[in-house]
Chains A and B, each alone.
Chain A
Amino acid sequence: MTYPIKLVVNGRKFSPRVEGDETLLHLLREKLGVKGVKAGCESGECGACTVLVDGQPVNSCLILAARCDGKSVLTVEGLRANPQMAILEQAFLEKGAVQCGFCSPGMIISAHSLLQKSPHPTEDEVREAISGNLCRCTGYAKIVEAILAAARRMGEVET
């Protein structure tokens, strides 16, 4: 049995059919070709699959696709046109916050979500915001530095 749903992914409308137990992660990667969403543990632990659903960061490996009927989903691809993304991306590159890159899409989504809610975060807030995103390469210090640097630069652009 499959079910027709409608959802908006990165501003584009889709009307796929989904299985009752299909996850949003599976729908995005295997049916809609949105490969920026990474499949890591598929158990909610690594955060590589993090997306925003109606503005909230969630693990796409845990949320059922059928539940996302009528919802709006943002993945790292959807940030391409976002001017803040360019700043965040640049900061990640400059600070060496990317090594193998597998965690980066999820990390960027968590960082973006934090900076939307709290444009001038403290280091503790940054660490808390990415606490659901595992990185096996960098040791996190560079990632935290990059997010703090991006926040400062966004502040300068504003003023």
Chain B
Amino acid sequence: MSRYSRPEYVKVLTVDDAIEELIRNGEAYVVAGGTDLVVNMRLGRCAPRKLVDLSAVPQLSVVSPDHNSVVIGATATMSRIVEALSPWPSLSALTTAASLLGTPQVRNLATIGGNIGNASPSAELVGPLVALGASAVLRGPKGDRCVPIEELFVGPGETVLSKSEVLTAVDVPIPPTKTLTAYARHRRTRVDLATVGVSVALGVTAGRCQHCRVVLTAVAPTPLRAIEAEGVLAGQKLTEEVIAQAALVASAEARPISDVRASADYRRELVEIITRRSLTSLAATLGVN
């Protein structure tokens, strides 16, 4: 038999039932796709006493776009997100990240809620969600609260979610016209976590940068907004020099570590190159460089 006593399992049909299970058992974990959790259990990285399976809660997997925002249910899979949101070019950062995550088989299981809940510094969707100004809808014993994704992460593997809270949805505002977003990342092999991820949102009015966000992932314990780089771009014409300067500043803002995937120096260099290329290509698409 197994090394540890095996977890109980319950498949809930509503979020409130899930919360009740979480309150009742302090060491219960919700499970969505299981692509992080099942592997972590097998490797002994965690030993839940109970698994609360969210996969059968009907409303949780719905993706509903309207004019102002898209509400993405927590158990929507990467495949579902790509399929439902590809018609929105301004959400390209998000759909690109979802289509780059893992493999086709993994994308049929992996959910947005699990990608956020796992809180890996290299989580694929998180940078794009911060760049888009998205918020997480959390439900707990005391009701719902809405937290900007930017404020959700405390450190690697840690979020502000309490033990009895469930992420129910992610609310993504649709960017205004003349705003585009992009996600690009570097990884060593086809199936590997990102060594560096760069998400950008760029909006222009009368040829000048009106709105921008530059978000770096895998180069700090939590997703990092390159605020100074954003400052370099704000209000400016997006010339080659301005973009190069912003990319340089972004790479100085990164706080990478050296690990098996890359050295800190290499990561900094990647931030500069990827940021420059992403901004250049968005500016070209917007017709302003």
Interface residues of A (CB under 8 A from B): 1, 3, 19-21, 23, 42-45, 47, 50, 56-59, 61-64, 66-67, 69, 110, 128-129, 131-132
Q: List 21 A-B contacts (CB under 8 A).
A: A1-B6, A1-B9, A20-B8, A20-B9, A21-B6, A21-B7, A43-B42, A44-B35, A45-B191, A47-B105, A62-B34, A62-B35, A62-B39, A63-B38, A63-B109, A64-B38, A66-B53, A67-B11, A67-B56, A129-B104, A131-B103
Query: Hey, which chain B residues are within 8 Å of A50, CB to CB?
Result: 105
Does B205 have its Cβ within 8 Å of any Cβ on chain A? no
Closest 6 A/B residue pairs (Cβ): A132-B103, A20-B9, A20-B7, A132-B105, A56-B108, A59-B105
Query: Hey, which chain B residues are within 8 Å of A58, CB to CB?
Result: 105, 108-109
Which of A57, A64, A67 is close to B104, meaning CB atoms less than 8 Å apart? A57
Knowing A1-B6, A23-B38, A64-B51, say if A59 contacts B104 (CB, 8 Å). no
Contact B55 A67 (CB under 8 A): yes
Name which of B6, B35, B103 has the most chain A CB atoms within 10 A of its CB: B103
Contact A69 B6 (CB under 8 A): no
Which of B9, B39, B56, B190 is close to A131, meaning CB atoms less than 8 Å apart? B190
Does B33 have its Cβ within 8 Å of any Cβ on chain A? yes
Cα–Cα distance between A15 and B70 once the two chains are bound (Å): 40
Shortest distance from the beta carbon of A71 to any chain B beta carbon, whole Å: 10
Given known contacts A20-B6, A58-B109, A131-B191, what 13 new A-B pairs fall within 8 Å (CB)? Answer: A20-B50, A42-B42, A43-B42, A45-B191, A57-B104, A57-B108, A59-B109, A61-B38, A62-B39, A63-B38, A131-B190, A132-B102, A132-B103
Shortest distance from the beta carbon of B106 to any chain A beta carbon, whole Å: 6
Contact A44 B31 (CB under 8 A): no
Closest A residue to B55 by beta carbon equals A67
Query: Hey, which chain B residues are within 8 Å of A66, CB to CB?
Result: 9, 11, 53
Query: Hey, which chain A residues are within 8 Å of B191, CB to CB?
Result: 45, 131-132
Interface residues of B (CB under 8 A from A): 6-9, 11, 31, 33-35, 38-39, 41-42, 48, 50-51, 53, 55-56, 79, 102-106, 108-109, 190-191
Cα–Cα distance between A66 and B7 once the two chains are bound (Å): 12
Query: Hey, which chain B residues are within 8 Å of A128, CB to CB?
Result: 104
Name which of A57, A62, A67 has the most chain B CB atoms within 10 A of its CB: A62
Closest B residue to A41 by beta carbon equals B39
Cα–Cα distance between A21 and B41 once the two chains are bound (Å): 8
Which of A21, A23, A57, A63 is close to B51, meaning CB atoms less than 8 Å apart? A21
Cα–Cα distance between A70 and B265 once the two chains are bound (Å): 51
Cα–Cα distance between A59 and B191 once the two chains are bound (Å): 14
Shortest distance from the beta carbon of A37 to any chain B beta carbon, whole Å: 13
Shortest distance from the beta carbon of A96 to any chain B beta carbon, whole Å: 23
Shortest distance from the beta carbon of B150 to any chain A beta carbon, whole Å: 29
Contact A21 B105 (CB under 8 A): no
Name which of B7, B51, B109 has the most chain A CB atoms within 10 A of its CB: B109
Query: Hey, which chain B residues are within 8 Å of A42, CB to CB?
Result: 42
Which of B6, B9, B106 is close to A62, meaning CB atoms less than 8 Å apart? B106
Cα–Cα distance between A63 and B105 once the two chains are bound (Å): 11
Closest B residue to A69 by beta carbon equals B11
Contact A64 B35 (CB under 8 A): no
Shortest distance from the beta carbon of B120 to any chain A beta carbon, whole Å: 14
Name which of A21, A50, A59, A129 has the most chain B CB atoms within 10 A of its CB: A21
Query: Hey, which chain B residues are within 8 Å of A131, CB to CB?
Result: 103-104, 190-191
